[in-house]
Amino acid sequence: MADYTNYTNKEMQAVAIAKSIRNGQVVIVGTGLPLIGASLAKRVYAPKCNLIVESGLMDCSPIEVPRSVGDCRFMAHCSVQWPNVRFIGFEANEWLHDTDRLIAFIGGAQIDPYGNVNSTCIGDYNHPKTRFTGSGGANGISTYSNTIIMMQHEKRRFMDHIDYITSPGWIDGPDGRAKKGLPTNRGPQMVVTDRGILKFDEQSKRMYLAGYYPTSSPEDVAENTGFEIDVSRAVALDAPDPEVIRMIREEIDPGQAFIKVPQ
């Protein structure tokens, strides 16, 4: 008989993503953990949320996990198949009308204390040690939408100063976005990692530990963060319900495309 109590940190991360989504939100997702978390939210925590992808597909409800935002499996149960430019217009229009229903998931290779994300290069831009694929739609998303950032929690990723800002966060503090001409009513809301959930202080806009998983601890998070981080407000997060883990493994990602089931 299958054991649904032996959850992994990635499954815990997917559950944390799902719980961060509210009813009525329009959720920009890609593939991988954000899609699994958003699919779980639509089934359990926020059935009235609507999933969209930057390829232009709106109100998605995929049965089988797509492998990319251009995957035809995304198209099978979506309400509208827009060209990409219409998606960008929708995103900007949400900001222009000052709505608060759009939330987006982005990721990257590096992040700093203010939620600025690097997905462009490691090292000097002109002579990098490693070159990544770059922004895609992430810069536009982080400019016009509130974001939830997905990261693996390692000291080499959580840095005081990142090598390149691909997607802007709070820049360098509460007035950082204003100084750069960016919308000040948008920005990163939280970071979901494989060790816990981090949020941003309302006054300083600096990252702090809000919650840690049963498999982690405040000390563990601090040890794996490359800058000084406040862990004094952290609370222990509950383990996921076995029925939720069953749903991830049996219904959402049965082929283990993004989350491997422990042996």
Q: Whose CA is closest to 36, among 260, 261, 258, 263? A: 258
- The CA angle 147-224-164, to the nearest 5 degrees, is 50
Cα separation, 140 vs 135, whole angstroms: 9
Distances (CA, A) of 166 to 110, 176, 219: 10, 15, 30
Catalytic residue among 11, 54, 64, 228: 54
167, two tokens: 């997607």
Residue 61 in contact with residue 51, Cβ under 8 Å? Answer: yes
106, two tokens: 């982005």
SS (H, E, C) 4-46: CCCCCHHHHHHHHHHHHCCCCCEEECCCCHHHHHHHHHHHHHC
Q: Tell me the pairing of strands 102-107 and 146-150.
A: parallel
DSSP-derived 3-state class of residue 138: helix
Encoded amino acid at 214, one letter: P
**Catalytic residue list contains 251:** no
Enumerate the active-site residues. 54
